Chain A
Amino acid sequence: MRIPLTLLALTSSCLSALALDLKGRVQWNDHCPGIDDLRQAKVVLDNGKHRGGVTRDGTFTIPDVPAGTYVLSVLAHDHVFEQMRVDVLETETLPEVRPYFPGTPLSPPSTVTLPYPIVLSARAKYDYFVPRESFNVLAMFKNPMMMMMLGAGVLVLLMPTMMKNMDPEVMEEFKERQAKMSGMQSALQSGDLMGGISQMLAGDEPKAASSGTSKGASSSGAKHRGPKNKRR
């Protein structure tokens, strides 16, 4: 009769030794300055069988946690908290706390250990909203498409006058360059990358060297305009 009794006493003392009260604190910070901001929150292990409420001063206690490996998470409505891995060991009185990233395997455990009692702090506040796009003329014209359109419009309007006032020699050069550009563009478009690059490289060469190639291209453009200038 005596032996079972002592056994019983032993097991009960063992049981009480194995279970541990996990203590920790939520560190208030800019994201979450106090309990008013946090509202009712709790710290849970795994799926919430073991849990503790966060009190006004940020402390929490998860009572009687048996030995094992747990994932600690914070259930807070508006704030993001890190998850942690908590190992309650049978032999030691202090648990091991490590950072944990959801979706990663629990073993092998991370080599980084965190201090105990656990200190948690809000990483961010959930932002549920997308700002409203409001109508703004300036913003509308800041749009690159709009700016391009405007630029094109200005060019269309100013081109004839610019052309008129241009020196014939500069004009000639401009046309040449334009033709080269268009040739390069068409080459790029047709997929002839090498041709396009060679065209581009050709553009960098001294003018004298490139004059031969550009002659043919510029002649067509000059044909129309040439007589016009002559007659003036």
Chain B
Amino acid sequence: MRLFTLCLLAACARALHSYEVGVTDWHKPFAGVPLLLSESTSPVFHRSKHQDGQSSSMILSATQSNVLAAYHSVNGSLAWRHLFEDEDNILAFRKDKDVVAALSGPGGAYFRIFDSTAGHLLSETRLHDPTAGLLQEPGSLGIAVAFGSEEKEKDIFVLTNGHTLRRLSRRTGEVSWGWTAPDQTSSVIYSKILVTPSTVYLLGLTKSFASYTLHITSLSPETGELIDSGDIPSRITSGLSEPLVLSDVKQPETNPQIVWLEEGAIKAFPLTPGLKSKSSVVKGAVYKNIEDVGLSEYGQFVAIKDDGSGRVIKLTPEGLKVIWEFSDSATSPQRTGSIYSGGIDVDGFPYIARVFWMHTLKLASAHVFAAHLAEGKGLVTGFTFPFKTGEHGIITHVAVEAANPEPYRVLARLALTTSTGAVQMWQQDQLQWTREEGLADIPVAELVELPERKIASHSESDQETFGARVARQLLDAQDFPQYAVNFIRRFVTGSYASVSSSVAPPANTTEPLSRDAFGFRKVIVAATSHGKLYGIDSANGEILWSRVFGLGWAAQVGGHIIPAKMFVTRTVNDGDSPQVVLVTQRKANNGLVDTVLFHVDALTGDDARDKSQSVDVLQGEDIVSGPLVEAFLLRTASGRAVVCLDEFLQVNVYPNDDETMQALEKILPSVRIPLRTGPPGQRRLTGHQIPKTVEFTGKHIAYPTWSLPFPPSEDIRAIFVRPSDPVASFGKVLGNRTTLYKYLNPNLVGVVTGPPSTAPLSESSTCSIYLVDGAKGTVIYHAVLPSVAGACDVKAALVENWLVYHYYDNEVGVNHAKGYRVVSVELYEGYGVDDKRRSSEMSSLSNETTAVSVYEQAYIFPRGIRTLTPTSTSYGISVKDIIVANENNQIQSFPRRFLDPRRPKQKPTAEEAEEWLIQYDPVLPDDPKRVLSRNYQVAKTRRIITSPALLESTSLVFAYGLDLFFTRVAPSNTFDVLSESFNKAQLMITIAGLALAIAIVKPIVARKRLRERWYN
């Protein structure tokens, strides 16, 4: 049976040819926006030596998407990336020659070692149970990674949970010794390690009244035995990561020192195993901050004076010395504050870069200081570079790598991270590459159809003179010869527009955006959580335009914009260029939340409200002064309007003109809005209606009409609705010529519930899935699903009358098997065949909305999934397949025929065979031919969008999450175009052969006939 289904599958699978890779699909891998919380996760340059003596430069970074990644410095391509699980947050990483060590999980539960050139996992060690991890704020507190002081094969010292130090082997991750602070209840939290050949120093802070006191413990690196421990008389009032440990790898004999800021003075304490020294003070100025620029191993750091100017301070055998003061670095209205960053060159000499933005020149400026140059007196080289602040926001982090090709000349490479999530590489003032890593964090995106290419221009005016008309028509006719040639060539060679060809425009064309013959080319409008809106060409994934969100009044105090929903308010079918409205929540840094709308032209990114220039930031409209409860698109007679409900359930309409309001009035009585209400933990579904009367505020206020409370053990986890795709047929004709009519209640809402997040996790808690009539709260379908240790991981999709949901069944017993399940449910009207109730146009007050018959079947799914979505075609005639993003980082399609809930349990009868039903087999085959993403790793997919093409057979698929992936699928094969295997040459040869045969046979036959006449 399995073999049969597989054969069948192979027969109906759309051919996926290797030559189509990269033509009909594209994949953009990302690593995510660099995590800048602490120095230990921020981007850093790394030079890895190859076996042939060459070395190549990389940028290592941990990211907000929980990925550890390396980029090639040369071209910005991803060298490697390692995906961490969502609950296993990267806390710190350290590099040393050929390895990168990373700590992740609560309190540093997991420790991994990677090969730095290829990113291979070398070892993985769990240091403690993640549930026993201490959650510190910030997360990098209480953990540290340090490499030993040996020349070769340095072991790794790892500090976790604030009080446990281990020494691990560099190769295998094996623990050679561990030391735990004896008194864990005390308030000492260690957060720094310094390894010298003789001693391992742990630097911690003790909380005392209103300040912190430094605490130092020294251990033997060989055995982990405690040497000494004690407090250093100090009072640190601000910041926990502030104390620095300075040492100098260039002069190992120099005593390492601890440096901290105390009441405007920099204090230092030399470290000796016995901890018997006296702290000293750096005299000369009042400081307000000290910054670790990543050069503490080279004995350098930057101290900021109280006027804002930066000084480089170096550890020398005689103590700390101020070796440089950056000129013009004091706080000034002409420039922003400076970002300091340290880096090293090929020979291991340290450099410190200072980067700032000059308001006067609108340029970014960088000063690079090298202490060892100019005969040890120190040398600064400076340059400005044209950073585009309107496109990338502001610079938030700088990593530097320098080269010193000749004396008195320093070349610097800067890796910038910006507030919009871009990573840029500048070599002096030349931009090398830009990675829009913000695209790894897209909350909402939409596919927007493109207009047709304008072939002939029509004259607008009637008063066109004869001469002008002739001239215009001649101008139009100039393309005719080319057209004629094309026509003939197409006729002869059969080079028609192919469905498996690229729809990307040829390079270097300035033509306006236009769709291709089959409508495969669209614009993907995507908003990121990093304050930027992108227009992406679906043909090749190139960025067509991008806009940075303006903050409105919140620009004074700062804030960020969280996209909530996106609607296409005008399509090409309405004439004119398509437009998109983005509904966002703006969180200002003073705690105020507003709902802001951005309205743009989808082809150019221009502000459709004409309020902001195309080069400037995009300004939005504050539609609600408060948080948003729900937003939806209303299709009125005059067009489409966006309706936003605020927390008082006031109806705010955009655009707010008379025409829209009148259209709204008309359809108000039929609007039903189910909302989740109530406090978290006991949320219920409440239906709302909008009255015709307007309150004194001039706005409608929605009122509740019904409420659906769920059992106390359940809380709403997700709500899903049916996509507004057209439905081609309202019934399904069966083999015996009867009809099942689809249940197409337009108000159907799906709800996934699970145990409240406040409740303790228990094995006995369950999850549920409901289908609710959103007009009156009737439960149409309900299923109770098992939870996995109290967590619900139910994924569901609803299309037409078909509900598909996926969950994990953990039950073990007789005839039970653990595994992933997918359940396919179909709803039909009435209680049997030929029971027509017209559910799609039924009044929501009718009793008959509950007359439903349910067909359902469960299948064993090959593996876990992240999201699932049905395909979508322009008329809904094609079969709907289910596209899933599975845990193997693949995008895979599952055909509807396998998920059909009416698959017979026995051998299909003739009638069933006529419906193309195949026998039920509990295991869904995992067919690699149906992996749409093929060799690409499409990681951490958050959502898949499907969108119709002009061809009814084809559906466009766009998956986003960490990566972007785009392809096309044809669930019922491309029945509306000539197949790819259609061979015009073969057809022509056959016809020619037949014609030849006729030509040869004709005279023979004629002769024969003649002879027969003669002799008969």
**Contacts from A to B (Cβ < 8 Å):** 35-36, 39-40, 46-49, 51-56, 60-61, 63-64, 69-71, 73, 75-78, 102-107, 126-133, 135, 137, 140, 153, 156-157, 160, 228, 231
B115 touches A56 (CB 8 A): yes
In the assembly, what is the distance between CA of A63 and CA of B131, in Å?
13
**Contacts from B to A (Cβ < 8 Å):** 13, 15-19, 82-83, 85, 112, 115, 118, 120-124, 126, 129, 788-789, 793, 808, 810, 812-820, 860, 862-864, 887-890, 922-923, 928-929, 931, 934-935, 937, 981, 983, 985-986, 989, 997, 1000-1001, 1004, 1008, 1015
Which residues on the B side are within 8 Å of A140 (C-beta)? Answer: 986, 989
In the assembly, what is the distance between CA of A122 and CA of B542, in Å?
37
B928 touches A75 (CB 8 A): no
Which residues on the A side are within 8 Å of B985 (C-beta)? Answer: 135
Which residues on the B side are within 8 Å of A71 (C-beta)? Answer: 817-819
A103 touches B817 (CB 8 A): yes
Return the contact of A69 from the options B118, B122, B812, B986 (Cβ within 8 A): B812
Which residues on the A side are within 8 Å of B808 (C-beta)? Answer: 46-47
A130 touches B17 (CB 8 A): yes
In the assembly, what is the distance between CA of A47 and CA of B888, in Å?
13
Whether A73 touches B928, Cβ cut-off 8 Å, given contacts A102-B923, A132-B17, is: no
A35 touches B863 (CB 8 A): no
Return the contact of A52 from the options B16, B18, B124 (Cβ within 8 A): B124
Q: Top 10 A-B pairs ranked by shortest CB distance? A: A126-B928, A103-B923, A63-B126, A128-B934, A56-B120, A129-B18, A130-B15, A47-B808, A105-B815, A53-B124
In the assembly, what is the distance between CA of A77 and CA of B819, in Å?
19
Shortest B490–chain A CB gap in Å is: 18
Return the contact of A103 from the options B814, B887, B922, B997 (Cβ within 8 A): B922
B788 touches A47 (CB 8 A): yes
Nearest neighbor of B864 in chain A, beta-carbon distance: A47
B928 touches A105 (CB 8 A): no
Show 17 residue pairs from A and B whose CB-CB distance is below 8 angstroms, ordered by the A residue.
A40-B121, A46-B818, A47-B793, A47-B864, A52-B124, A55-B120, A64-B126, A64-B129, A69-B818, A75-B888, A77-B890, A107-B813, A130-B15, A131-B17, A131-B18, A132-B18, A231-B1015
Whether A153 touches B812, Cβ cut-off 8 Å, given contacts A52-B124, A76-B888, is: no
Return the contact of A40 from the options B83, B815, B887, B1015 (Cβ within 8 A): B83
A133 touches B981 (CB 8 A): yes
A75 touches B887 (CB 8 A): yes
Nearest neighbor of B860 in chain A, beta-carbon distance: A103
Whether A78 touches B863, Cβ cut-off 8 Å, given contacts A40-B121, A55-B121, A55-B124, is: no
Shortest A11–chain B CB gap in Å is: 15
Shortest B400–chain A CB gap in Å is: 30
In the assembly, what is the distance between CA of A35 and CA of B115, in Å?
12
| A52-B124, A105-B814 given; 11 more Cβ-contact pairs under 8 Å | A35-B120, A36-B118, A46-B788, A47-B788, A55-B122, A64-B126, A107-B813, A128-B16, A128-B935, A160-B1008, A231-B1015
In the assembly, what is the distance between CA of A128 and CA of B893, in Å?
12
B817 touches A104 (CB 8 A): yes
B19 touches A56 (CB 8 A): no
In the assembly, what is the distance between CA of A165 and CA of B794, in Å?
81
Shortest B522–chain A CB gap in Å is: 25
A228 touches B1015 (CB 8 A): yes
Return the contact of A48 from the options B112, B115, B813, B864 (Cβ within 8 A): B864
In the assembly, what is the distance between CA of A200 and CA of B458, in Å?
77
Return the contact of B928 from the options A53, A127, A157 (Cβ within 8 A): A127
Nearest neighbor of B129 in chain A, beta-carbon distance: A64
Shortest A70–chain B CB gap in Å is: 8
Whether A55 touches B16, Cβ cut-off 8 Å, given contacts A104-B817, A105-B815, is: no
B818 touches A106 (CB 8 A): yes
Which residues on the A side are within 8 Å of B17 (C-beta)? Answer: 129-132
Which residues on the A side are within 8 Å of B923 (C-beta)? Answer: 102-103
Return the contact of A102 from the options B85, B816, B860, B890 (Cβ within 8 A): B860
B82 touches A40 (CB 8 A): yes
Shortest B986–chain A CB gap in Å is: 6
Which residues on the A side are within 8 Å of B812 (C-beta)? Answer: 69, 106-107
In the assembly, what is the distance between CA of A156 and CA of B994, in Å?
13
In the assembly, what is the distance between CA of A169 and CA of B307, in Å?
125
A135 touches B986 (CB 8 A): yes
A48 touches B121 (CB 8 A): no
A46 touches B887 (CB 8 A): no
B931 touches A126 (CB 8 A): yes
Which residues on the B side are within 8 Å of A104 (C-beta)? Answer: 817
Which residues on the A side are within 8 Å of B928 (C-beta)? Answer: 126-128
Shortest B116–chain A CB gap in Å is: 13
In the assembly, what is the distance between CA of A76 and CA of B931, in Å?
14
Which residues on the A side are within 8 Å of B126 (C-beta)? Answer: 61, 63-64
Whether A75 touches B863, Cβ cut-off 8 Å, given contacts A40-B82, A46-B818, A157-B1001, is: yes
In the assembly, what is the distance between CA of A40 and CA of B120, in Å?
8
Nearest neighbor of A61 in chain B, beta-carbon distance: B124
In the assembly, what is the distance between CA of A106 and CA of B814, in Å?
7
In the assembly, what is the distance between CA of A157 and CA of B997, in Å?
10
Query: Which one of B112, B789, B888 has the greatest number of beta carbons of chain A within 10 Å?
Result: B888
In the assembly, what is the distance between CA of A93 and CA of B40, in Å?
39
In the assembly, what is the distance between CA of A128 and CA of B82, in Å?
24
In the assembly, what is the distance between CA of A63 and CA of B127, in Å?
10
In the assembly, what is the distance between CA of A126 and CA of B888, in Å?
12
In the assembly, what is the distance between CA of A46 and CA of B82, in Å?
22
In the assembly, what is the distance between CA of A36 and CA of B668, in Å?
60
In the assembly, what is the distance between CA of A170 and CA of B16, in Å?
56
In the assembly, what is the distance between CA of A131 and CA of B983, in Å?
16
In the assembly, what is the distance between CA of A106 and CA of B817, in Å?
5
In the assembly, what is the distance between CA of A11 and CA of B653, in Å?
62
Nearest neighbor of B791 in chain A, beta-carbon distance: A49
In the assembly, what is the distance between CA of A110 and CA of B120, in Å?
35
Which residues on the A side are within 8 Å of B983 (C-beta)? Answer: 135
In the assembly, what is the distance between CA of A231 and CA of B816, in Å?
88
B981 touches A54 (CB 8 A): no
B122 touches A56 (CB 8 A): yes
Which residues on the A side are within 8 Å of B817 (C-beta)? Answer: 71, 102-106
A129 touches B1001 (CB 8 A): no
Shortest B661–chain A CB gap in Å is: 51
B889 touches A77 (CB 8 A): yes
Shortest A163–chain B CB gap in Å is: 11
Which residues on the B side are within 8 Å of A73 (C-beta)? Answer: 863
In the assembly, what is the distance between CA of A107 and CA of B789, in Å?
21
A153 touches B1015 (CB 8 A): no
In the assembly, what is the distance between CA of A60 and CA of B860, in Å?
27
In the assembly, what is the distance between CA of A106 and CA of B815, in Å?
7
Return the contact of B937 from the options A55, A63, A77, A128 (Cβ within 8 A): A77
Shortest A76–chain B CB gap in Å is: 7
Which residues on the B side are within 8 Å of A130 (C-beta)? Answer: 13, 15-17, 929
In the assembly, what is the distance between CA of A140 and CA of B984, in Å?
13
Which residues on the A side are within 8 Å of B819 (C-beta)? Answer: 71, 102-103
A107 touches B814 (CB 8 A): yes
Shortest A7–chain B CB gap in Å is: 19
In the assembly, what is the distance between CA of A51 and CA of B122, in Å?
16
Whether A46 touches B810, Cβ cut-off 8 Å, given contacts A55-B122, A55-B124, is: yes
Which residues on the B side are within 8 Å of A39 (C-beta)? Answer: 937
Nearest neighbor of B930 in chain A, beta-carbon distance: A128
B1001 touches A156 (CB 8 A): yes
Whether A53 touches B788, Cβ cut-off 8 Å, given contacts A40-B121, A77-B888, A77-B937, is: no
Shortest A110–chain B CB gap in Å is: 12
Which residues on the A side are within 8 Å of B1001 (C-beta)? Answer: 156-157
Shortest A67–chain B CB gap in Å is: 12
Shortest A47–chain B CB gap in Å is: 5
Whether A55 touches B123, Cβ cut-off 8 Å, given contacts A46-B810, A49-B789, A71-B819, is: yes
In the assembly, what is the distance between CA of A127 and CA of B16, in Å?
10
Which residues on the B side are within 8 Å of A36 (C-beta)? Answer: 118, 120
In the assembly, what is the distance between CA of A203 and CA of B913, in Å?
40
Which residues on the A side are within 8 Å of B813 (C-beta)? Answer: 107
Whether A47 touches B16, Cβ cut-off 8 Å, given contacts A55-B121, A56-B121, A63-B126, is: no
